[in-house]
Structure formats: structure tokens, C-alpha cells
Amino acid sequence: MESHESTLIEKFLFRIAKQWIAGDTMDEALQSAKAANKNGMNAVINKLGEHMTSKDQISDTVSEYLTLVSNLRRSKVSGGISIKPTQVGMSKTIEDCMTNLEKIIEKATSSQSFVWIDMESSEYTDNTIKIYLNLFEKYERLGMAIQANLKRTEQDLEMLLEHGAKIRLVKGAYRESKKNAYKTRHEVDENYEKLTKMLFSCGNEFAIATHDSKMIDLAINLSKKSERKFEFQMLKGIRDELKPVLIKSGFSISEYIPYGTNWLPYSIRRLKERKRNILLLGSSFLHSHRV
């Protein structure tokens, strides 16, 4: 593809993507987080970026998160941060990743911020769980995402709940093989429902992270039968009409707010999740070409 064509496509993609992203800078993320707080939600901020292998890039990312947690406290933002293991060394060694995560979590703990560890593709699941359990022994304000599309997750959740782990349940955003993962929407939803029930029967301080009304209604129904400390989590810019309704009904919500210039992989995952977004992209492209 000619470079001016790819620049053009990137510009159109960005026009769609900016609904999900606070902006390029930490300041914009903090503004977005304050807006979420004002609307009754906690904020979970993520610096965009993944699969980092350069030492400098990784150390810059760690410094950025350290500054971010200080700024969260200084700006009196209620919420925390969410980190992808491959941003902080997982693509190099598990030890690098653990050391870097611990630096950030230590600072976050002293700043009273909660830290979530995002779950990436299944090649990292074992090491992410290992790191989580190791750090969770020392830091209790630490949670981890698990993915309903993976066949292994039911067993993982059983084991994690025995450790009292703080879980964010998601459907899973990464392309996985048939061997490891449920592939149809029906199968993934069925497993999400099963895992939600497990959380409501044995979990505490967990997050139901979905935009799916069916899954949200199930959690609401389960919460009436078994009282648990839990929250809904949704991404910035998605289901904005539903968020105030849930808050008004007394539920806690956190909004996941990404920022930074590396917005493309995150945005492509969001686009793939919704055919309507692809259509929107198409119409935006056509519109700007005045066809």
C-alpha cells in the first residue's frame, strides 16, 4: 500500500477510535478520569501499548505508570490503573515483568490506587497468573482479568478463588485457536454465565466487565440472591446510555480509560467486536470522500 494511502486510512481509523480513548497525553487521561468520577464512576486508566521488547521503552512505560499513580492521588481521582504484562517486560522474561509490576504496585499501594493486570493472549496466561499470585500475597489491592473464551478459565477461576483473588471477568479480546478457546458467541456467553455464577457464589471484590445486557442482567439477578462486593466495568465510549442507569440503581461502575499514541491495536480489537463499528468506519471514509 502507498504510504499516503495508509496515512489516510489511519486518519479515518483515528476518527472512529477517539471515542474509546482519552487522548495522547496523561493530562487528557486525568481529565477523562475526573469526568468519569463526576458522573459517579471510578476510573481505571491504561497507557496504550503492548509487546514491548526494548529496554528503554519498557523503562519509560514503568516511569509513566509511576507518575500516573502519583498524579491520580494529587488530582484526587478515584480509581486506579490497568497494566498489560507485555508493556512491562513479559515479552522478555517473567522476572523482568514481575520486578517492574512490583515497582508500580508498591507505589500505587502507597497512593491508595487499585491495580488491575490485563490478560493478553493465551501464550501469556500461565505466567500472568503466576505473577499475579506471587504479588497478591504481598499486595491486596491487586486484581487480574480472566477470559471466558478460554477453555482453561473455569479451572483457573476455581484455583484463583481458593486464593481469594480479585477477578475481572471478560469475554476475551484475542484471537485464539480452537484447541484453547470457545469459538462461537453462544459458547463464550454460556461460559461467561457459568463463571459469573462461580464469582457470585465464591468470589468477593470482583468485576463483571462487559457491555452485554444479558450478562449484566444475570449479574444483577445474582446480586439480589447473594450479596457480594462487585462492580461493573465498561470501556470508555461504550454503552454510555446504560452507565447512568446502573449507577442510579445503586451499582458501582468503573470506566476503563486508555490513553496514548499507540491506539491502533486496541482500536482494531474494538472495531472487530462490533460490525456496526466497521460500517461506521466505511461511512466515515465515504463521507469524507464526498462519494
Site residues for ligand FAD per CB under 6 A? 118-119, 145, 147, 170-174, 209-212, 233-235, 238-239, 256, 273-274, 277
Shortest separation between residue 171's beta carbon and ligand FAD, angstroms:
4
Using alpha carbons, select from 207, 190, 198, 200 the residue that is nearest to residue 252: 207
DSSP 8-state symbol, 40: T
Minimum CB distance to ligand FAD, residue 146 (Å):
9
All three cell numbers of 273, joined, read 467486536
Q: Which three cell numbers stand for residue 44?
A: 481505571
Q: How far is the CB of 270 from ligand FAD (least distance, A)?
A: 6
Rounded to a whole number of angstroms, the CA Rg of the chain reads: 19
Q: 166-170 and 142-147: which strand pairing? A: parallel
> With the CA atoms of 217, 270, 91 and 151 taken in that order, what torsion angle do they form, in degrees rounded to the nearest 10?
40
Q: How far is the CB of 74 from ligand FAD (least distance, A)?
A: 24
Q: Which is nearer to ligand FAD, 70 or 154 (CB)?
A: 154
- Closer CB to ligand FAD, residue 98 or residue 145? 145
Nearer to ligand FAD, 202 or 280 (CB): 280
Cβ neighbours of residue 115 closer than 8 Å, sequence gap 6 or more = 80, 81, 82, 83, 104, 105, 108, 139, 141, 142, 143
Whether 16 contacts 280, CB under 8 Å: yes
Would you state the cell numbers that stand for residue 56, as one nine-digit string? 528503554
Could you tell me the CA-to-CA distances from 232 to 31, 45, 137, 179, 242 in Å, in that order? 21, 15, 25, 30, 11
CA 46 remoteness from chain centre: 8
What are the phi and psi torsion angles at 79 (to 5°)? 145, -145
Nearer to ligand FAD, 68 or 117 (CB): 117
Shortest spacing between CB 226 and ligand FAD, in angstroms: 22
Can you tell me which residue has the cell 497478591?
Answer: 136
Closest distance of CB 175 from ligand FAD, Å: 10
Rounded to the nearest whole angstrom, what is the least distance from the CB of residue 184 to ligand FAD in the complex? Answer: 11
Measured from the CB atom, the residue of 100 and 267 that comes closer to ligand FAD is 267
Would you say 55 or 268 has its CB closer to ligand FAD? 268
Comparison of 225 and 276: residue with beta carbon closer to ligand FAD: 276
